[in-house]
Amino acid sequence: MAGMDARTEELLGLDEIRRRIAALCQSPQGSARAGERPVATRANEVASRHLLTAEAIELRRLGMAVAAGATDVQTALDNASRGGTLELASVVAVAATAEVAAELAESVAHHAIAAPQLAARAQAIVVPALRRLCEEVASAHDGHGGLRDSASADLGRARRQLADARAG
């Protein structure tokens, strides 16, 4: 899609508009994406964005809470997808973000009549899988920054061997 020329963007003050929108975002990632989003130049794309925005405004008017607690976990997910190991704090952040995504998807689905386009997008979120992830992390995490012995058979065995070696 061809974008708007720089002179037109300047005359419209789009840099300032992008800065203001970015300042309203809840996360640094959201701010960066808002600041980089190209201007819609086709009527159908403008209409689609307007409809999504109107639906989001309606959800807020109906009292739907803002999704809070999500963090940018993209680096952790990229690392894990390449077989890397995640620090416990990253695992907890992924689970917290998954919980927010599940709650958001359920809430938007509940308001499907008021926000059909957003509800259609929310259907792509696999809520049961996110809930299972959250449960698994919660059952493995001891709540004090560590993992329970039951988090994995290997971890439990290694901790028992270490305890036996220290005792003997």
Check residues 54 and 26 and name the one with the higher pLDDT. Answer: 54
Check residues 168 and 50 and name the one with the higher pLDDT. Answer: 50
Total residues found in the chain within this entry: 168
Place of tokens 């800065």: 19
pLDDT digits (tens, 9 = 90+) for 126-160: 999 999 999 988 888 777 777 777 777 777 777 77
pLDDT for 15 beyond 80: yes
In the chain, what percentage of residues exceed pLDDT 70? 98
**Structural tokens at position 94:** 């992924």
Q: What's the pLDDT score for residue 2?
A: 59
Helix extents (H) in the chain: 6-12, 14-24, 28-36, 43-61, 74-81, 88-110, 116-122, 127-140, 153-167
Question: 101 falls in which pLDDT band (50, 70, 90)?
Answer: very high
pLDDT for 1 beyond 50: no
Distance CA 52, CA 115 (A): 8
pLDDT digits (tens, 9 = 90+) for 16-32: 998 998 898 877 888 88
Q: Which of 104, 132, 129 is nearest to 119 (CA)?
A: 104
pTM of the model: 0.74
- Average pLDDT on 61-82 reads 88
Burial of 115 (0-12, 13-18, 19+ CB in 10 A): buried
